[in-house]
Amino acid sequence: DIALSENQSPRIILNRYALAVVYYATSGQDWGQDEQFAPNLPPSSVCEWNNGITLETPGALGVYCATQSSVQEIRLRYLGLKGTVPWELSLLDSLALLDLSENLLTGTLPTEIGKLVALRNVSFAGTLLSGTLPTEIGQLISLAYFAVDSNNLSGTLPTELGQLVSLHYASFGNNHFVGTVPTEMAQLSNLRSLSLEENNLTGSLDNVFCTSQRLWDHLSADCEPHTGNSASTVEIECSCCYCWSS
């Protein structure tokens, strides 16, 4: 049992509660592919729940804080997390980076993720998430990097993605998204990399995404002609894309 000191601030206690929920919701007892990151819930400060590698050094893994009461980054990539993403993550309101990629997470993204307005970097790439993208993601106006590729996500891409004014990189590839790409995203002046391939998206990107005013580092979609028993067709028309054949 862990005794919480009466001298600890409510914020420190709340942070520990939220991270304990994450630990148990994702089978934390089975973590530990990195031998320096103990798979047991430690009694120490949550700011010490990491492998001791500084953020400036490759290989940093775990929970990192700006102060004792401010959780800044959660880096749990490739740790064998199994379970669901709990809404209690939204209690960590100073969180700037959340990387849960390349794990075995299932279920849906909680709508409460929209409360994490300090988020700048989010990756759920390479997990098993399903359902739709919550429209509340549009509230993350500081978000610069967003990766949800290689999941089982479906439905349409919400128009609220067009509210992410800081967005620089977005990857939605290898899911089951349908419908058209929100034209609102073409107005995101900071967006330089957008991956849409290996989905069931349709329509044309030419008029709004392929204009002379837009400079892309990377733009990919299912625009390579494919043939079947009928005439050659493409899912997305895009003259400025790197084209995939779906």
Handedness of CA 26, 98, 172, 85 (dihedral sign): positive
Do strands 130-131 and 104-106 pair parallel, antiparallel, or not at all (unpaired)? Answer: unpaired
pLDDT at 243 over 80: yes
- Residues 116-133 pLDDT 10s: 999 999 999 999 999 999
Q: How confident is the model at residue 31 (pLDDT cuts 50, 70, 90)?
A: confident
pLDDT of residue 1: 38
Q: What is the pTM of this model?
A: 0.92
In whole angstroms, give the CA distance from residue 109 to residue 87: 8
First to last CA, the chain: 53
